[in-house]
Amino acid sequence: MTAFPLTTGLLGSRRSLRLIERNLFVYKHGWIIILSGFFEPLFYLLSIGFGLGALIGSIAGPGGQAIPYQLFVAPALLASSAMNGAITEATFNFFFKLNYNKTFEAILSTPLSAGDVAVGELGWALIRGGLYAVGFMVVMVVLGLVVSPWVILAVPAALLIGFAFGAVGMAATSFMKTWQDFDLIQLVVLPLFLFSATFYPIETYPEVLRVIVQLTPLYQGVDLIRSLTVGVLSPVLLFHVAYLLVMGFAGLWVVARRLDKLLLK
Amino acid sequence: MSTPLATAIAPDLGAPASSPSLILARGLTKRFGEFTAVDAIDFDVAPGESFGFLGPNGAGKTSTMRMIGCVSPLSGGTLQILGLDPEAHGPQIRARLGVVPQQDTLDTELTVRENLLIYGRYFGLSRAECATRADELLEFAQLGERAGDQVERLSGGMKRRLTIARSLINEPDVLLLDEPTTGLDPQARHLLWDRLYRLKQRGVTLVLTTHYMDEAEQLCDRLVVMDKAKIVAEGSPRSLIEQYSTREVTELRFAPGVQETLDGQLDGLAERIERLPDRVLLYADDGEAAVAAAHARGLQPEQVLVRRSSLEDVFLRLTGRSLIE
Amino acid sequence: MTALAHPRSGIGRVFEHRFMQYRRSYRASIFSSFLTPVLFLAAMGVGLGSYVDGSTSPALAGLSYLAFLAPGLLAATCMQSAAFEAAFPIMSGLVWSRTFHAMHATPIDGRDIVLGNFAWIGARMVLVATVFTVIIVLFGAAASPLIVLAIPAAALTGLAFAAPIMAFAATQRTPNKFNAVFRFGITPLFLFSGTFYPVDSLPAAIQPLAWVTPLYHGVALTRALSLGTVGGAPGLALIHLAVLLAFIAVGLWFAYRTVGKTLLRG
């Protein structure tokens, strides 16, 4: 069925902008909640980067030269918080909104389609993610963690990570039936957060593990942002970008096929 | 949406061009797995009409409303709304509907006025237009003084009025109301009825579900009674009463234990006799005559009530007296 | 009428209710209470630990980072899950599903509801801590048999958060502020209370801040037991224990008042 012009919706029906408008209304009352999201990566940076970093000193960065631990870990925290933010929005929050929040039931009885809602909410998550990324950049400047002009590209890179994980998260959500199913998502996200060369160089792993990690999605983001931050560029970065783009569009493709069926009972 | 509305309302959608129906359903069916919620029903709603679905809980009213609201795909049959197919033109149809769901779906994170503003935006109205209409509707719903309040702080009746006001923001051609007054106190119900009556006078087509007989009699020009996923009767409230009941109903209540001993003594007293656990109902056009006849037979009811027949008698006759959940 | 419940057995009934709810989701929760410590110990303890151990910093005084980190994570994990258990289920019982109001319409009173929930969270924490401790031992990160006592120490750490958070949750009608509690309370504590490195590594100005938080004391006590260093400073261990118990007592007193108030408000 061609029902509810989803493809137009997914690639940016203007109606999905209304969702962003709604969020602006909502956060006029609760902007502090938005602000709070910025602190989590900051706390991690201060604690792990500087606190624990004091016990570590320097560590091998991209290209092999030794860099201070906080410079090593900061880009990884940016990448993983982009992943976390998008996943939370696209899985847990999205499921809750469409199944339990009556607001979204009301929205679906206007000309907006489920696809518009999906794109609108994902778009809002990306806007927020973009704000956090910019905020994090400012912190890095203040803390003296900026060593290369390429770091400016870390903001779009963070958005790309958010897009890739948000789309795949939403696709996964379209298969979820109950809250228990979301434990599976934690089961994927936590290992990604801990093992994607986030806290130590990928060379720490034995050969086999290293190859496996190099194929996982968050590693692409971590290595991409870290290389940009340190200013060590290589063709591998293009692979990372392509990986995340393919992942995002594959996610959207699944969402487009499943969303209406799932949400319109 | 790239398709302009004008092209979307193409004449080649299978409906007879002369069809005056705003909503046309043939063999409309909704299944959830094994369970059939709506079983091949047919109905038409004419422009400007006020049309009701009456039935006990679980009869399939809400499922039908959701299909008309283009938020629930059909499992079978055909449905046309405003001459369009909901499968292909959901957004265009929804653009011209106002929906009042069974439970309020207000945006609890926003204020009363913001609820109206953003809802207008969902329909693509300009911000200025939304603001003008929001203020008019707040007036209409008698919520002007609460415009800046959070929705949570409103009473049940106020929330219901806000939901109705919200459903009118796009100046809909058809208003779908699913049990609009369930759970409200009498004052709130009467205020709502008044507002709905005004809309009807303005030419808005109302489609509503209810299990309140007085509401159906007040609001509906025509209604269908649904039971167990099917339509079991159709007509105006008056014609249904004429068809399925008598002009008057006499209720006789006997002393405990007496009713069980009345075998045969009641026969022929009325067109139809119904025995309930606590009383006997005599369906006859002249209730007083039925009472006189009962007394003539030496029956001594403790209480006698003669009343006009209501839609409730029709409803209970058609859908049975046992509790359906 | 004499057969009606003994006044205090209401606590048991409330506990039973939570247990019935839990049975529906225990698989996922056992899985995550097992997997979380494994993943964290492997990544932070072993992976990152290899860099800490390889550095020349004297902060850990020759101790392996894994052995240092493991008891800290044990206590911090109990804090996180106890905080969660004390926030959302209490809100659910009072606001969303209103099951506590239903209980309150029976002989069960507010105190039973507070203590029954508290007992349930305690039982959950013992379970979480036991699983975690077994994993620490399997990682070879336990330095002393006294680590058995780290189980109750970590559970108490969790309860020192559960009691006051329960009191707070009962005053809320929406979960909006829980977000702030977790973001500005639980997460910073997790990161800055000596879990990942000694508090003396923090700037001197903020060290006293760490001392007044229950997590600092919970981590210190749990670590002293796991490393077997508790005998060296028994007085200090008693202070840690006293702080945890004080948080529990004061928290419960407040919870009793706020839950009671919300139940009466209806």
Considering only residues 75 to 94 of chain B, which have any Cβ-Cβ distance to chain A shorter than 8 Å?
87-88, 90-92, 94
Quick one: average pLDDT of B92-120?
92
Among A36, A37, A199, select the one facing C48 at the smallest CB separation. Answer: A199
- Contact check, Cβ <8 Å, A187/C35: yes
Cβ(A26)–Cβ(A97) below 8 Å: no
The answer, yes or no, to whether residue A209 has pLDDT greater than 80, is: yes
The pLDDT assigned to B324 comes to: 44
The answer, yes or no, to whether residue B313 has pLDDT greater than 50, is: yes
The pLDDT assigned to B170 comes to: 93
User: How does pLDDT run across A39-97, given as a tens digit for each residue?
Assistant: 989 999 999 999 999 999 999 999 889 999 999 999 999 999 999 989 988 888 888 77
The pLDDT assigned to B325 comes to: 40
Cβ-based contacts of B124 with chain A (< 8 Å)? 15, 111
C-alpha C14/C-alpha A9 separation (Å) is 49
DSSP state of A111: S
The answer, yes or no, to whether residue C162 has pLDDT greater than 90, is: yes
Residue C188 amino acid letter: P
- Contact check, Cβ <8 Å, C57/A56: yes
- Contact check, Cβ <8 Å, A180/C47: no
The percent of residues above 70 in pLDDT, for chain B, comes to 93
Complex confidence, ipTM: 0.90
Q: Which chains touch C (3 or more CB pairs under 8 A)?
A: A
- Contact check, Cβ <8 Å, B101/A111: no
DSSP state of B172: -
C-alpha B267/C-alpha B276 separation (Å) is 15
User: Can you read off the two tokens belonging to residue C56?
Assistant: 């020349």
Question: Among the CATH numbers 2.70.150, 1.10.3470, 3.30.70, 2.30.42, which is that of B246-308?
Answer: 3.30.70
Look at the block and give the residue holding tokens 């009674």.
B225
The pLDDT assigned to A260 comes to: 67
Residue B54: name the closest of B217, B241, B210 by CA.
B210
Quick one: average pLDDT of C21-27?
78
CA distance A164 to chain C (A): 24
Say how far residue C209 (Cα) sits from the centre of its chain.
19
CA distance A53 to chain C (A): 9
Instruction: Enter the pTM of the model.
Output: 0.81
- Contact check, Cβ <8 Å, A110/B110: no
- Contact check, Cβ <8 Å, A111/B94: yes
C-alpha A107/C-alpha A115 separation (Å) is 12
Task: Give me chain B's average pLDDT, please.
Answer: 86
- Contact check, Cβ <8 Å, C39/A52: no
User: How does pLDDT run across A114-157, given as a tens digit for each residue?
Assistant: 788 888 888 988 998 888 999 999 999 999 999 999 999 999 99
Choose the most confident range, by mean pLDDT, from A22-26, B168-172, C96-100.
Answer: B168-172
More confident residue, C37 or B3: C37
- Contact check, Cβ <8 Å, B71/A25: no
The pLDDT assigned to A4 comes to: 40
Cβ(A134)–Cβ(A157) below 8 Å: no
**Class in CATH terms, B5-239:** alpha beta
Question: 3-class secondary structure for chain C?
Answer: CCCCCCHHHHHHHHHHHHHHHHHCCHHHHHHHHHHHHHHHHHHHHHHHHHHHHHCCCCCCCCCCHHHHHHHHHHHHHHHHHHHHHHHHHHHHHHHHCCHHHHHHCCCCCHHHHHHHHHHHHHHHHHHHHHHHHHHHHHCCCCCCHHHHHHHHHHHHHHHHHHHHHHHHHCCCCCCHHHHHHHHHHHHHHHHHCCCCCCHHHCCHHHHHHHHCCHHHHHHHHHHHHHHCCHHHCHHHHHHHHHHHHHHHHHHHHHHHHHHHHHHHHC
The pLDDT assigned to C115 comes to: 96
- Contact check, Cβ <8 Å, C184/A36: yes
Residue B222 amino acid letter: R
User: How does pLDDT run across B140-158, given as a tens digit for each residue?
Assistant: 889 999 999 989 889 888 9
Residue of A nearest to C48 (CA): A200
CA distance A180 to chain C (A): 7
C-alpha A209/C-alpha A75 separation (Å) is 22
The answer, yes or no, to whether residue A37 has pLDDT greater than 70, is: yes
The pLDDT assigned to A183 comes to: 77
Length of chain B in terms of residues written: 325
Residue A194: name the closest of A180, A209, A207, A181 by CA.
A209
- Contact check, Cβ <8 Å, A106/B87: no
User: How does pLDDT run across B190-227, given as a tens digit for each residue?
Assistant: 888 888 898 899 989 999 998 888 888 889 999 999 99
Residue of A nearest to B68 (CA): A109
CA distance A136 to chain B (A): 28
Q: Where in chain B is the domain with CATH 3.40.50.300?
A: 5-239
Quick one: average pLDDT of A227-248?
96
Interface of C with A (CB under 8 A): 25, 28, 31-32, 35-36, 39-40, 42-44, 47-48, 50-52, 55-57, 59-60, 65, 176, 179-180, 183-184, 187-188, 191-192, 196-197, 201-202
User: Can you read off the two tokens belonging to residue B98?
Assistant: 């106002």
**Which residue, among B64, B67, B122, would best test binding to A if mutated, counting the most A CBs under 10 Å from its CB?**
B122
Look at the block and give the residue holding tokens 């075998």.
B263
User: How does pLDDT run across B224-273, given as a tens digit for each residue?
Assistant: 999 999 999 999 988 998 888 888 999 999 888 888 887 778 888 888 88
SS3 at position A165: helix
The pLDDT assigned to A263 comes to: 61
**Which residue, among A25, A177, A261, would best test binding to B if mutated, counting the most B CBs under 10 Å from its CB?**
A25
**Which residue, among B32, B100, B105, B166, would best test binding to A if mutated, counting the most A CBs under 10 Å from its CB?**
B105
CA distances from A166 to A93, A120, A158, A171, B178 (A): 11, 12, 12, 9, 35
Look at the block and give the residue holding tokens 């912190």.
A139
The answer, yes or no, to whether residue A259 has pLDDT greater than 80, is: no
DSSP state of B129: H
Say how far residue B220 (Cα) sits from the centre of its chain.
8
Task: Give me chain C's average pLDDT, please.
Answer: 91
C-alpha A254/C-alpha C6 separation (Å) is 58
DSSP state of C171: T
**Which residue, among A38, A39, A47, A132, would best test binding to C if mutated, counting the most C CBs under 10 Å from its CB?**
A47
pLDDT confidence band for C248 (50 / 70 / 90):
very high
- Contact check, Cβ <8 Å, B94/A29: no
User: Can you read off the two tokens belonging to residue C255?
Assistant: 């919870």
Among A33, A51, A190, select the one facing C196 at the smallest CB separation. Answer: A51
- Contact check, Cβ <8 Å, B122/A4: no
Burial of C241 (0-12, 13-18, 19+ CB in 10 A): middle
Quick one: average pLDDT of B161-179?
93
B97-100 β-sheet, strand order = B97-100, B174-178, B205-210, B50-54, B222-227, B230-235
Report the DSSP pairing between strands B97-100 and B174-178. Answer: parallel
